[in-house]
Amino acid sequence: MSVTLIIIAATVIVSIGAFQNAQLFDKLRFDPYSMRINKDWHRFFSYALLHADWGHLLINMFVLFSFGRNVELLFELFFGNKAMLYFILLYVGGVFISVIPSFEKHKDNPYYVAVGASGAVSAVLFSSILMYPQGKIIFLLFPVPIPAFVFGILYLIFSAYMARRAKDNIGHDVHFWGAVFGFAFTILLRPAFIVDFINHIML
């Protein structure tokens, strides 16, 4: 069975459960202050199983479904029987690495909390972009195909800019660092990916 589908199923089940159980939501959410004071280190991972609302959940799971299986197939092509392990490390690593800057920034702030799989989803998305830069990305509200590598550049610029502004309630810094991790981790697995990527975008 696809690891992507297993992750989606687990995330949907826990998220729906937390929609109906505030105590569960509070126990699993990313809460840097509580993590520092109470050593709730499980929150470095458990927050990715929660979402703020149905829209948040559906968008993340749709993007994960759209790109996760492609990454799994490409990993199977390049890494054989290690593909499943590498995909799990990509996703879980994205969950953890993407919130380290947020932890450092907000560990003394008792009011900051966060939820969502966006960091891990960004890691999967950018792994896909690295391995298949010639792909196209289409938005429902802007139905014009955008080259994957162009979208990746714009996504990083936008996320970095919005993270600096910090004017909304979206974890743009988590998106940024999840994307960077996904790109870097995939290069570490096979350095030739970056050579192929550069060759493609230079054509």
10: CATH: 1.20.1540.10
pLDDT at 191 (0 to 100): 96
Residue the block writes with tokens 């996504």:
155
User: Dihedral angle at the C-alpha atoms of 153, 157, 158, 164, nearest 10 degrees?
Assistant: 160
The packing angle between helices 148-165 and 172-189, to 10°, is 140
Q: What is the chain's pLDDT, residue by residue, as a tens digit (203 residues)?
A: 799 999 999 999 999 999 999 999 999 999 999 999 999 999 999 999 999 899 889 989 988 998 999 999 999 999 999 999 999 999 999 999 999 999 999 999 999 899 999 999 999 999 999 999 887 777 655 567 777 777 777 777 766 666 566 554 456 688 889 999 999 999 999 999 999 888 877 76
Q: pTM, whole model, 2 decimals?
A: 0.89
CA atoms within 13 A of residue 107's CA, in its CB half-sphere: 15
pLDDT at 97 (0 to 100): 97
As a three-state string, the secondary structure of the chain is CCHHHHHHHHHHHHHHHHHCCHHHHHHHCECHHHHHHHCCCCHHHHHHHCCCCHHHHHHHHHHHHHHHHHHHHHHHHHHHHHHHHHHHHHHHHHHHHCCHHHHHHHCCCCCCCECCCHHHHHHHHHHHHHHCCCCEEEECCEEEEEEHHHHHHHHHHHHHHHHHHCCCCCCHHHHHHHHHHHHHHHHHHCCHHHHHHHHHHHC
Which residue range(s) make up the domain with 118? 3-202
Domain count, the chain: 1
pLDDT at 168 (0 to 100): 46
